[in-house]
Chains A and B, each alone.
Chain A
Amino acid sequence: DVKVTQSSRYLVKRTGEKVFLECVQDMDHENMFWYRQDPGLGLRLIYFSYDVKMKEKGDIPEGYSVSREKKERFSLILESASTNQTSMYLCASRDMTQHFGDGTRLSIL
């Protein structure tokens, strides 16, 4: 079974902090993704990566950046956290289907 592991299930940070969310997959997938999920809005794609050091913007990239230095690891960075970035963040990797982690519930105070 594919395993996608997100570093934290719950995280509380303060406005203006730089926040790192880490994701690791164990199936050598080339494609990895970051989504956020908010009530009533479904899952929205933030960024994705189809290879090491490659990244593409999704639907809502503003306020975020990503890093993919190794194939198995994809990091989401909130450069200066704001309260409107309080959300559930989901990481996924993909072969023919997407495999998700359990999510990080991030609160920005």
Chain B
Amino acid sequence: LAKTTQPISMDSYEGQEVNITCSHNNIATNDYITWYQQFPSQGPRFIIQGYKTKVTNEVASLFIPADRKSSTLSLPRVSLSDTAVYYCLVGFYSGGGADGLTFGKGTHLIIQP
């Protein structure tokens, strides 16, 4: 199982772009990269998923270099409501199995006014 490493915490300000990087040196050929967001007293919520290059949705962008050993979640123009814990997961989402289910401790992002 590919292990991920991400910063424990980050601070930023409203209106800024925030980039959170995740390292996954042992990523396998079939693995996808998925990011989740969690607010206090709620379950994690899916943000974005990708395999290579760049993926963008209405919430965030995900940048994955060619070697796929890291990935960067980019949140454009953050607001106070983006204060949350962000988790990076790596795994192959086949029909069964526990692959890609290790959440780790995540990155606690704090947005200040």
Stretch of A13-21, A63-71, A88-96 lying at the B interface: A88-96
Nearest CB in chain B: distance from A98 CB, A: 7
Interface residues on chain B, number (Cβ under 8 Å): 22
A41 at the interface (CB under 8 A from B): yes
B95 at the interface (CB under 8 A from A): yes
Give the docked Cα–Cα distance between A103 and B34 (Å): 21
Nearest CB in chain B: distance from A80 CB, A: 26
Q: Which of A76-102 contact B (CB under 8 A)?
A: 88, 90-92, 94-102
Contact of A33 among B32, B93, B101 (CB under 8 A): B101
Q: Which residues of B contact A50 (CB under 8 A)?
A: 95-97
Contact of A97 among B46, B98, B104 (CB under 8 A): B46
Contact of B106 among A30, A42, A88, A96 (CB under 8 A): A42
Contact of B45 among A45, A59, A100 (CB under 8 A): A100
B41 at the interface (CB under 8 A from A): yes
Q: Is A103 touching B43 in the complex (CB atoms < 8 A)?
A: yes
Q: Could you write out 21 A-B pairs with CB less than 8 Å apart?
A: A4-B43, A31-B95, A35-B103, A42-B105, A51-B96, A56-B96, A58-B101, A88-B41, A96-B93, A97-B34, A97-B46, A97-B49, A97-B93, A98-B46, A98-B101, A99-B46, A100-B43, A100-B44, A102-B41, A103-B41, A103-B42
Q: Which of B34-52 contact A (CB under 8 A)?
A: 34, 36, 41-46, 49
Give the docked Cα–Cα distance between A41 and B103 (Å): 10
Q: Is A43 touching B103 in the complex (CB atoms < 8 A)?
A: yes
Q: Which of B87-113 contact A (CB under 8 A)?
A: 87, 93, 95-98, 101-106
